[in-house]
């Protein structure tokens, strides 16, 4: 075990927020190593607590017990806390802004959306209905950008159509970065038996993925936008001449 600290099952339950019954069930399923038994009492360690925290957080993230067991079976002894840190980085949202709640009347006033446009905005995830004529706005800055585009004279349906294409393109870009990480960082790590000493390196690589992706996407888009504007307006000027 990672430490000599000894805890009874009741103390583990208090630390993890789980019931004693659930802890024993996880142990029966092979998700938790057996405690060290002295006399008639089983004693648990911080490693057990870290494993239970990992199980709870992964369940909350949508992983089933079979997938969790597979991950734990690959986890080196004493490395559960580091795997928990990796899981938190993996599941942390990439969005940095807070969502907002707005009334239907405000949306109609800002965008003048009809029923068809409203459904398209929902399909794109720009607005999320939460009942009682209210909507959650996951990215207020993105909605504000749409408002600015409309203020330029662009019809709402045209703006939503472009948003659909941009969303699809960005998903493709994101998939490429994730494939890159899986192919060149994660899978070699798994194939090597998930050595404990490399866990911090893998976690740091995942943490850097966000900034690296933005460092690549932003200048690439700026270069592409410059080229497109020059080409498009060059053709327009020739046509006018």
Cβ burial of 27 (10 Å; 0-12, 13-18, 19+) is: middle
Per-residue pLDDT band at 71 (split at 50, 70, 90): confident
Q: What is the mean pLDDT of residues 130-143?
A: 89
**Residue 210 in this model has a pLDDT that exceeds 70:** yes
Q: What is the mean pLDDT of residues 153-180?
A: 92
**Centroid of chain to Cα 109:** 33
| pLDDT computed for residue 1 by the predictor | 40
Q: Which domains does the chain have, with CATH numbers?
A: 9-91 (1.10.1660.10), 100-240 (no CATH)
| pLDDT computed for residue 218 by the predictor | 93
Per-residue pLDDT band at 40 (split at 50, 70, 90): confident
Per-residue pLDDT band at 78 (split at 50, 70, 90): low
**Residue 11 in this model has a pLDDT that exceeds 90:** yes
Q: Are 199 and 82 in contact (CB under 8 A)?
A: yes
Per-residue pLDDT band at 3 (split at 50, 70, 90): very low
Q: Of all residues in the chain, what percent carry a pLDDT higher than 70?
A: 94
| pLDDT computed for residue 4 by the predictor | 63
User: Which range among 103-117, 127-141, 220-234 shows the weakest confidence by mean pLDDT?
Assistant: 103-117
The pair of structure tokens assigned to 26 is 């996880």
Report the candidate in 77, 95, 62 with the shortest Cα–Cα distance to residue 32: 77
Residues paired with 44 in a beta bridge: 7
Q: Of all residues in the chain, what percent carry a pLDDT higher than 90?
A: 37
**Residue 213 in this model has a pLDDT that exceeds 80:** yes
Report the candidate in 180, 198, 181 with the shortest Cα–Cα distance to residue 189: 198
The pair of structure tokens assigned to 226 is 């410059």
User: Which range among 46-55, 107-116, 165-174 shows the weakest confidence by mean pLDDT?
Assistant: 107-116
Q: Are 54 and 84 in contact (CB under 8 A)?
A: yes
User: Which range among 18-27, 75-84, 158-167, 226-235 shows the weakest confidence by mean pLDDT?
Assistant: 75-84
Q: How is 102-125 classified by DSSP, letter by letter?
A: EEHHHHHHHH---HHHHHHHHHTT
Cα(114)–Cα(169) distance, rounded to whole angstroms?
26
Sheet with 128-131: list strands edge to edge: 100-103, 134-137, 128-131
Q: What is the mean pLDDT of residues 161-178?
A: 93
How many CB atoms sit inside 10 A of residue 218's CB? Answer: 10
């Amino acid at each position: 075990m990672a430490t000599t600290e000894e805890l009874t099952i009741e103390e583990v339950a208090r630390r993890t927020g789980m019931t004693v019954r659930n802890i024993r069930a996880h142990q029966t399923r092979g998700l938790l190593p057996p405690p060290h038994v002295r006399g008639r009492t089983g004693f648990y360690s911080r490693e057990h607590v870290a494993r239970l925290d990992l199980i709870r957080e992964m369940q909350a993230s949508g992983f089933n017990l079979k997938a969790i067991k597979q991950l734990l079976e690959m986890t080196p002894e004493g490395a559960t806390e580091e795997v928990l840190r990796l899981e938190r980085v993996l599941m942390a949202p990439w969005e940095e802004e807070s969502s907002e709640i707005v009334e239907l009347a405000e949306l109609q006033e800002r965008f003048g959306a009809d029923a068809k446009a409203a459904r398209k905005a929902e399909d794109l995830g720009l607005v999320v209905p939460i009942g009682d004529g209210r909507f959650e706005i996951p990215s207020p800055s993105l909605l504000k950008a749409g408002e600015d585009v409309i203020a330029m004279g662009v019809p709402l349906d045209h703006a939503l159509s472009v948003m659909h294409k941009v969303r699809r393109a960005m998903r493709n870009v994101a998939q490429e970065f994730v494939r890159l990480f899986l192919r060149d960082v994660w899978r070699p790590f798994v194939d090597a038996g998930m050595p404990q000493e490399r866990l911090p390196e893998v976690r740091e690589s995942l943490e850097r993925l966000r900034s690296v992706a933005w460092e690549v996407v932003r200048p690439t888009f700026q270069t592409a936008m410059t080229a497109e504007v020059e080409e498009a307006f060059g053709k327009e000027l020739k046509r006018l001449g």
